[in-house]
Amino acid sequence: MFEKYDLYGTNFLIGRKPYELRSAENAAVIQRGRLDVASHGMYHDGGVYNPSATEQYYKEEIIDSKTMFENAFPSIDVIVFGPGDGRITDRGLEIVKENYYAQRKGTRGFGAVEPSEAELWDAKVKGSMTILRLRAETAGLTQ
């Protein structure tokens, strides 16, 4: 379907939902460059906007989820973190900035729409180049 309608998208995965990682359909679409993976955290339980969250919690929710997804789908770099409801503590945001290239902001919306400058921060060259490379490869613009 992605190819038929020339679709691309981003799938925000949750680490503690292993069926998302084992889905053959997810893996195939990701491998073809039609679906990018972003982290919705390990637990997606609202802890990233809890002022009492521990460093261990942040590590598992923000860093370990990224590692898990990159290990599950070795052909991609996970460059976006999307906290539940778009809310995160200052400490959580610091950790996201150290480990990702962008953070999804906002609570709901159309994930396939190109983000505006106001919706992303710190979009570094590697992240932008990864997205452009994947789009070029899937469009047959590279050798």
Helices within the chain (DSSP H only): 18-22, 24-31, 55-58, 65-72, 90-99, 125-138
Pairwise CA distance, residues 65 & 17, whole Å: 11
Pairwise CA distance, residues 89 & 16, whole Å: 21
Residue 81 in 3-state DSSP? strand
Length of the chain counted residue by residue: 143
User: What's the pLDDT tens digit per position in 28-60?
Assistant: 888 888 888 889 999 989 888 899 999 999 999
Of 28, 32, 31, 25, nearest in space to 6 by CA: 32
User: What's the pLDDT tens digit per position in 67-109?
Assistant: 999 998 888 889 989 887 778 899 999 999 899 887 776 655 4
